[in-house]
Structure 1
Amino acid sequence: MNSNVNDRKPRLVFFQWDHQPNANAAGYLLLHMQQQVKCLSTHFDVVVINRDCDYAEICDRYEPDLTLFESGYRSHGSRRIKITNTNTHIAVPKLGLHNADAWCDRRAGFLSDMEQWGIEAYFAIATMTPEYMPAVKENLFVWPNFIDPDVYHDYGQQKVIPAMLTGQAYGLYPWRQTVFPMIRDRYPCLVSPQHAYESKLASQLLSGEAYARALNASLVVPTCGTMGGEVVRKHFEIPGAKACLVTERTPAVEAAGFVDMENCVFVDGHNVVERLDYLFAHPDEIRHITTAGYSLIHSRHTLSHRPQIYQWFMLSKGLQFGEKIIQSGPFGDLTKVQRISRQESVHIVGEASDRALLKQGDLLLEQGRVEEAKQCYARCLDYVSYLPEAKFRLAICALQQGDADRAYGLMVGLVKVTMTEYEALNPDPVEWAYFLLALICRGQFERARRLQDFYPSLSHDEFRRARLVIALLGGSGDAAVSGRYGRDRKSIHQIPDRSDSEWLAWFSDILERCQQPDLANVLRHAPVGRSGVGEKVTFLHFKRDAGWRLRLYSGVDGLMVGLHLNGLRPNVPPLPEFRYFSHLARRLVPHSQRGPLRRIRTALSRLPVGTGN
């Protein structure tokens, strides 16, 4: 009996989003989610929970050895589940799973979830995620993409398709944008339509066995890992179905074991025709490369070769004080080492195009060349139109050019993605700080002051500085805001390293440019030492925000607090930009009775918005 207990697989409760079949969704998205569960099942007895639930009740019922929380997904018809009481059963280790692209704009929501659920170790499916979330990379490991060999294998199809072009090829995929037309215009091709994930036509795309058979019938199939130089599923699916992979040379692809002209073919826009002409003229060489690629995938990149989550579980059980867990590479094993050794996980230092542009823009901004910096940040949006880092930096540029309205609009958009679209508990702390600062730059100090405590658990050094500004300008500066007033929430943004005095001088200049000279003067003369605020400063008198509509929003939110109805209170700021009343109606009124309220919300949304001071 003891032998049976010891031999049983540890039980994993996987809190997965509700990825139910959607008539309009791409079929392969659902397959990916199912394959993740199948992969976990190689090492765990997996229980999938994909509905709203009480964590304590689930743990009582299933007695898990480990719990895994999917988070940060950019929904394509899937529903994010609500999980309560996650502060119970503290003896059960918890892991987060960032199941999304490294550059996804739900990363702030992911970090909010992790803090809310008390999770301090995370896995990501993207190999480049540590570069996109450096604040947590010490506890961030990679559980990389893989294939299911039951789907992707050699079906023995006759090679009747010279080249197959599959996958999207818009701005996110610059290599495909260059290479695909050159192949399409020169060789006979099977071309798959480029339907977006959310398109009603996405369900018509090949997936599963049909897709694998089409790959198996093809001689060469090109793909790339986006502007981020990522390793995507297609890198494994193509050779895994015994087709010759044609791709872009990147550090991540080489880390996966791909070698040019040995088990794949590296090309770019300058040599793709030359290399494919050579290969088509030498069919034996294509067969050799294809066979070697097939061996690589089936020996290193199937679901049975992804034990990283299981390794973390086993290592964490015996982790001693002074030890930590590291990963030998994005496709490597996890091991434990002494912290004093200073060994770190090996992450890919890639050549992501957006990261290079951000760094270039930051250097230009530091030199005061704001227009040139803006161009770099705008070019990032050509790759990923929703990239939060680029939008945040464009807001900083707007402030430095005195355009507070533009900065405010950008900050509203960033906060809305996390709070309205993703419905996180709280926003990115740096984004929230600069949302408040943009309000002050617009002359809406009172509104910023009222909103500073709207998310009471939010803490970050940059948010502390925003509160410091509010305290100084309101004449109530004291040591209460001089230090860190709580454990820092991690941010996806990296801020220039400045002392408080340097930062206040910088923001004073911003206020001057935004036509707020009185406020700038107060900050310039505020005595700030190493511990923060020194003496109190002269009290400024501020006008109340104009507009009955804005007072109505503030009054209703205050009434919810006064009546102790925080559970029904919307988790978005009481401003029309965030559709506060729409969120309030959804909380107050059952779904079946919401029809009549839509007309009221529509009427309210058409009322003019107050412009503040």
Structure 2
Amino acid sequence: MNSNVHHRKPRLVFFQWDHQPNANAAGYLLLHMQQQAKCLATHFDVVIISRDCDYAEICDRYEPDLTLFESGYRSHGSRRIKITNTNTHVAVPKLGLHNADPWCDRRAGFLSDMEQWGIETYFAIATMTPEYMPAVKENLFVWPNFIDPEVYHDYGQQKVIPVTLTGQVYGLYPWRQTVFPMIRDRYPCLVSPQHAYESKLASQLLSGEAYARALNASLVVPTCGTMGGEVVRKHFEIPGAKACLVTERTAAVEAAGFVDMENCVFVDGHNVVERLDYLFAHPDEIQRITTAGHSLIHSRHTVNHRPQIYQWFLLNKGLQFGEKIIQSGPFGELAKVKRVAKHESVHIVGKASDRALLNQGDLLLEQDRVGEAKHCYARCLDYVSYLPEAKFRLAICALREGDADRAYDLLVDLVKVTVIEYGAVDPDPVEWAYFLLALICKGQLERARRLQDFYPSLSHEEFRRARLVIAQLGCSGGVVAGLYGRERKSIHQVPDRSDSEWLTWFDNILERCQQPDLANVLRQAPAGGSGTSAKVTAPYFKGDAGWRLRLYSGVDGLMVKLRLTNLRPNVPPLPEFRYLRHLVRALVPKSQRGAMRWIRTALSWPPV
């Protein structure tokens, strides 16, 4: 037998999004994706699949030892690929890769993908992701950011730039908003323009070697890890290119090995000028810190120092009953432990500003101080305008204030992000449950009943309770008991209540939303059963748009009867989700859609 067989690398098939070069995209985004593949190749024979494919056919062709699925990316010109037949080749272990910011609004899409693909173990590139997805943190490991030392190293550039200011400066980066202007107004600076990822000018930003050389020619370069206290690539790129890192002190940065005035400089708005004045007056100090930072990065944070996925692969092969895999920290190694020992992975417990505001708002909401709670949740959106946890809580506040229309609009937007913008098979189960509840609060009980089974794979405690309400209000034919299947994970955390406490809470919500008849029926209905003895008949189609709603409902029902579920859109049959637009896209070839213009005009559809 050939001795090389014993030493071959295990084969990893990496299902990566289609990150082909985009004329308008920032060049460094594509480099990040290429560097991830390069990092995996240090331990694996990597096969990258970036096209729509059949999982069974890919496994038959490449015979992988492990498969890795990229998911949850907030596309900047990249295309999410479609993968079918993932329920085959069960002997091949599968991992999910959350390749996104921890607060990203595609997290619900990521969890939907994982459920559809049968994946139960995940890696994330962000150290704070476990704090943002606590429902899955037991099976979530960190494969943290790193640099390619072939790009980020000491080029021997003359230090002709006192300070380089690079990166975006808006609400997500409060430290930069405070510190950058103070630096810019006092010291000579090279300032990079703040082009957004999606901007047509993004392609003009420095990337790769040009960016690394600019850093190498700089004395000091400040950056931060956003309001979430994350470790971003710049934390490693700056000292990796042998410039002095000036940054914010956070738990994640310290976990990466950074120590103030030893291998970096921690500053805030109160001492940044004082510290930089000292450093520029003592160039030997800058050189000492810069050299130590460079050594830290090249000894701990390059493509050669990220074996976590490979470690999981080796440990999982020999995993015995009663054992599990844990990680010693976000930059640490993985190890096997006995489950009875109750050891857990060590995650960063930071001081993310949005998490603090959410917790504060939750305490206020519990005290029925709805206005103050709303203020906290709205402030979260100053950091991340699309933060789903804040929008969901604002919908709850709207229900508490009796504004069912506002709650409905917020929940529609959340569902749209996941099933339309991201393209997941189904939405977050908690968002869907409260979407149905908002319909009930709007008096559209029958509409909620018709939609409750639209996503048959969804199962969650809050969704069960929404179905229980529909049953007790007399719009379901039986008892709702227990979950329909394994509970789907949600990005949302809701108060821990018993069924009776929850029903009392929702009874109050109905009263506030001017639905006293529904509230009265809910109070009279037997717990856990159908309230047929006092059921309320609420019109499904109301107002001038009734004929359109009948059409949407009828068309969707016809798709089910004709067994065309594979062509049925994954969006609810409602005009606000553009159901017919998605149906036309599924049924009509793109070349023939022009013939449908007369229908679109008659029905006032949006353009296809």
Scaled by the length of structure 1, the TM-score of the pair is 0.97
- Give yes or no for the alignment of 1:539 onto 2:539: no
- Give yes or no for the alignment of 1:501 onto 2:500: yes
Q: CA deviation at 1:525?
A: 2.1
- Does the 8 Å contact 2:473/2:532 carry over to 1? no
The aligned residue for residue 232 of structure 2 is 232
Tell me the distance in 1 between the aligned counterparts of 2:19 and 2:530.
54
Q: Deviations over 1:164-214 (max 9, x none)?
A: 000000100000000000000000000000000000000000000000000
Q: CA deviation at 1:401?
A: 0.3
Q: CA deviation at 1:595?
A: 3.6
The aligned residue for residue 308 of structure 1 is 308
CA separation of 1:519/1:92 partners in 2, compared to 1, >3 Å: closer, same or farther? same
- Write the letter of the residue equivalent to 1:116: Q
- Does the 8 Å contact 2:471/2:529 carry over to 1? no
CA separation of 1:598/1:177 partners in 2, compared to 1, >3 Å: closer, same or farther? farther
Q: CA deviation at 1:68?
A: 0.1
Three-state SS of the structure 2 residue aligned to 1:474 is: helix
Q: CA deviation at 1:603?
A: 5.5
Q: CA deviation at 1:567?
A: 1.0
The aligned residue for residue 73 of structure 2 is 73
The aligned residue for residue 85 of structure 2 is 85
- Does the 8 Å contact 1:475/1:538 carry over to 2? no
Three-state SS of the structure 2 residue aligned to 1:13 is: strand
The aligned residue for residue 550 of structure 1 is 549
Tell me the distance in 1 between the aligned counterparts of 2:170 and 2:346.
31
CA separation of 1:593/1:477 partners in 2, compared to 1, >3 Å: closer, same or farther? closer
- Percent identity, aligned pairs only, is 86
The aligned residue for residue 204 of structure 1 is 204
CA separation of 1:392/1:423 partners in 2, compared to 1, >3 Å: closer, same or farther? same
The aligned residue for residue 583 of structure 1 is 582
Q: CA deviation at 1:600?
A: 4.3
- Write the letter of the residue equivalent to 1:141: F
Q: Deviations over 1:522-574 (max 9, x none)?
A: 1112232xxx3388642222223121011000011111111111111111000
- Give yes or no for the alignment of 1:365 onto 2:370: no
Tell me the distance in 1 between the aligned counterparts of 2:261 and 2:588.
63
- Give yes or no for the alignment of 1:3 onto 2:14: no
Tell me the distance in 2 between the aligned counterparts of 1:307 and 1:206.
29
- Does the 8 Å contact 2:396/2:407 carry over to 1? yes
Q: Deviations over 1:430-468 (max 9, x none)?
A: 000000000000010111000000001110010000000
The aligned residue for residue 517 of structure 2 is 518
Q: CA deviation at 1:589?
A: 1.4
**Which segment drifts farther, 151-160 or 534-543?**
534-543
The aligned residue for residue 610 of structure 1 is none
Q: Deviations over 1:244-277 (max 9, x none)?
A: 0000000000000000000000000000000000
Tell me the distance in 1 between the aligned counterparts of 2:270 and 2:481.
57
- The 5 Å alignment of 1:85-484 reads 85-474=85-474, 476=476, 478-479=478-479, 481-484=480-483
- Does the 8 Å contact 1:522/1:537 carry over to 2? no
Tell me the distance in 1 between the aligned counterparts of 2:322 and 2:477.
40
Tell me the distance in 1 between the aligned counterparts of 2:191 and 2:541.
57
**Which segment drifts farther, 281-290 or 535-544?**
535-544
- Does the 8 Å contact 1:581/1:601 carry over to 2? no
Q: CA deviation at 1:2?
A: 4.8
Three-state SS of the structure 2 residue aligned to 1:493 is: coil
Calculate the aligned-residue CA RMSD, in Å.
1.2
- Does the 8 Å contact 1:475/1:537 carry over to 2? no
Q: CA deviation at 1:352?
A: 0.2
Q: Deviations over 1:450-496 (max 9, x none)?
A: 000000111001000000000110264643x1212211110000010
- Give yes or no for the alignment of 1:573 onto 2:572: yes
Tell me the distance in 2 between the aligned counterparts of 1:475 and 1:148.
60
Tell me the distance in 2 between the aligned counterparts of 1:526 and 1:181.
62
Tell me the distance in 1 between the aligned counterparts of 2:178 and 2:485.
49
Three-state SS of the structure 2 residue aligned to 1:594 is: helix
CA separation of 1:14/1:606 partners in 2, compared to 1, >3 Å: closer, same or farther? closer
Tell me the distance in 1 between the aligned counterparts of 2:392 and 2:206.
38
CA separation of 1:600/1:365 partners in 2, compared to 1, >3 Å: closer, same or farther? same
Tell me the distance in 2 between the aligned counterparts of 1:314 and 1:39.
17
- Write the letter of the residue equivalent to 2:534: T
**Which segment drifts farther, 54-63 or 539-548?**
539-548
CA separation of 1:93/1:194 partners in 2, compared to 1, >3 Å: closer, same or farther? same
Q: Deviations over 1:91-141 (max 9, x none)?
A: 000000000000000000000000000000000000000000000000000
Tell me the distance in 1 between the aligned counterparts of 2:115 and 2:125.
20
- Does the 8 Å contact 2:151/2:209 carry over to 1? yes
Three-state SS of the structure 2 residue aligned to 1:33 is: helix
Q: Deviations over 1:388-416 (max 9, x none)?
A: 00000000000000000000000000000
**Which segment drifts farther, 517-526 or 391-400?**
517-526
Tell me the distance in 2 between the aligned counterparts of 1:598 and 1:219.
61
CA separation of 1:106/1:298 partners in 2, compared to 1, >3 Å: closer, same or farther? same
- Does the 8 Å contact 1:478/1:536 carry over to 2? no
- Write the letter of the residue equivalent to 2:380: C
Three-state SS of the structure 1 residue aligned to 2:123 is: strand
Three-state SS of the structure 1 residue aligned to 2:466 is: helix
- Write the letter of the residue equivalent to 2:580: F
How many residues align? The count is 603
Tell me the distance in 2 between the aligned counterparts of 1:605 and 1:47.
47
- Does the 8 Å contact 2:429/2:460 carry over to 1? yes
CA separation of 1:598/1:343 partners in 2, compared to 1, >3 Å: closer, same or farther? farther
Q: CA deviation at 1:4?
A: 1.4
- Write the letter of the residue equivalent to 2:548: R
Q: Deviations over 1:312-362 (max 9, x none)?
A: 000000001100000000000000100000000000000000000000000
Q: Deviations over 1:269-328 (max 9, x none)?
A: 000000000000000000000000000000000000000000000000000110000000
Q: Which runs of 5+ in 2 are unaligned?
A: none
Tell me the distance in 1 between the aligned counterparts of 2:183 and 2:324.
48
The aligned residue for residue 611 of structure 1 is none
Three-state SS of the structure 1 residue aligned to 2:3 is: helix
Tell me the distance in 1 between the aligned counterparts of 2:397 and 2:508.
13
- Does the 8 Å contact 1:477/1:533 carry over to 2? no
- Write the letter of the residue equivalent to 1:99: N
- Write the letter of the residue equivalent to 1:132: Y
Q: Deviations over 1:358-406 (max 9, x none)?
A: 0000000000000000000000000000000000000000000000000
- Give yes or no for the alignment of 1:36 onto 2:32: no
CA separation of 1:606/1:121 partners in 2, compared to 1, >3 Å: closer, same or farther? closer
- Write the letter of the residue equivalent to 1:503: W
CA separation of 1:278/1:435 partners in 2, compared to 1, >3 Å: closer, same or farther? same
Q: Deviations over 1:27-63 (max 9, x none)?
A: 0000000000000000000000000000000000000
CA separation of 1:535/1:409 partners in 2, compared to 1, >3 Å: closer, same or farther? closer
The aligned residue for residue 560 of structure 1 is 559
Q: CA deviation at 1:6?
A: 1.4
